[in-house]
Copies of this chain bind each other. A is one copy, B any other.
Amino acid sequence: MPGRLLAVLDSLTTFTPDDRAAIEDLVGPPRHMPAETELVVDGEATADCTVLLEGQAFRHKTLADGRRQILGFLVPGDVLDFSRLFLGADYGVTALTACQIGPIPRGRLEEILVERPRVGRAFWRMAMLEAELQREWMIGMGRRSAYARVAHLLCEAFLRLRNVGMTYGARCRFPVTQTHLADAAGLSGVHTNRVLQSLRQNGLITFRARELIVLDWPGLIAAAEFDPHYLHLPSEPVSRGRVSAQTA
């Protein structure tokens, strides 16, 4: 499934067939990782960076005393550790489900950025997009109530999963615990639980057995003060069909 990266990049620019081939060529042999694996270890220096091909994961920073902040959730097509290419990762990435990841050799990526301007531009876009998500989270933490923050998080997760074909109608598998949500929203576990309850009571969502069901999308958006613009999603999802077609 290395086509996952291509599919995402594809949604960012227009490529020539040559570009496409180069991208396919860029990702090394996929590796399977069980759930809970540390896909990127904080502070570890490596020669590669990595793209998530299948599964879900999350990026996080953990303080000395154990307090953890989740920085983002990752879906197939996301690059786990852009920053490692140039500075070294200051965060960890942990698998939420069994995952498939593809190594992108550092040297090859640097070459392709130079040789293929269109591909370079697409990677820049991906990085800028990541930064934009980060900024939107900042707003949430700084200026939104716990209720809106959790709702916002769920909106974002749902749309990003839908974009890579991982939703089924209003449902999606979102295999996080309430503690994960708490660490993502900067809340305590107990309070996150209560927020989820009120989201349920308001008829906005169901969230059980790691499955999120959006019962009232307009309501959820309103609760979250959510504006999907910042996700820069293509009008059409990066469909599973296209992915496999290009991989074959």
**Interface residues, chain A, with chain B CB atoms under 8 Å away:** 61, 63, 67-69, 71, 82-83, 85-87, 90-91, 110, 113-114, 117, 120-121, 124-125, 127-132, 134-139, 141-143, 183, 185-186, 225, 229-230, 232
Copies per assembly: 2
**Distance (Å) between the CB of A163 and the closest chain B CB?**
16
Kindly list chain B residues whose C-beta atoms are within 8 Å of the C-beta of A82.
128, 131
**Distance (Å) between the CB of A141 and the closest chain B CB?**
4
Known interface pairs A86-B124, A117-B110; A134-B135 also in contact (CB < 8 Å): yes
* Residue pair B128, A130 in contact (C-beta under 8 Å): no
**Distance (Å) between the CB of A65 and the closest chain B CB?**
9
The 5 sampled A-B contact pairs (Cβ below 8 Å) are A61-B139, A86-B121, A113-B113, A113-B117, A134-B138
A134 interface neighbour in B85, B114, B124, B131, Cβ under 8 Å: B131
* Residue pair A83, B131 in contact (C-beta under 8 Å): yes
* Residue pair B69, A129 in contact (C-beta under 8 Å): no
* Residue pair B127, A131 in contact (C-beta under 8 Å): yes
* Residue pair A131, B132 in contact (C-beta under 8 Å): no
- Complex Cα gap A113–B120 (Å): 9
Known interface pairs A63-B225, A142-B69, A143-B186; A132-B86 also in contact (CB < 8 Å): no
**What residue of chain B has the Cβ atom nearest to residue A124's Cβ?**
B86
* Residue pair A63, B139 in contact (C-beta under 8 Å): yes
Other than the given A68-B143, A134-B134, 11 more pairs (CB < 8 A) read: A63-B143, A69-B142, A83-B128, A86-B128, A90-B135, A90-B230, A114-B114, A114-B117, A127-B128, A127-B131, A141-B142
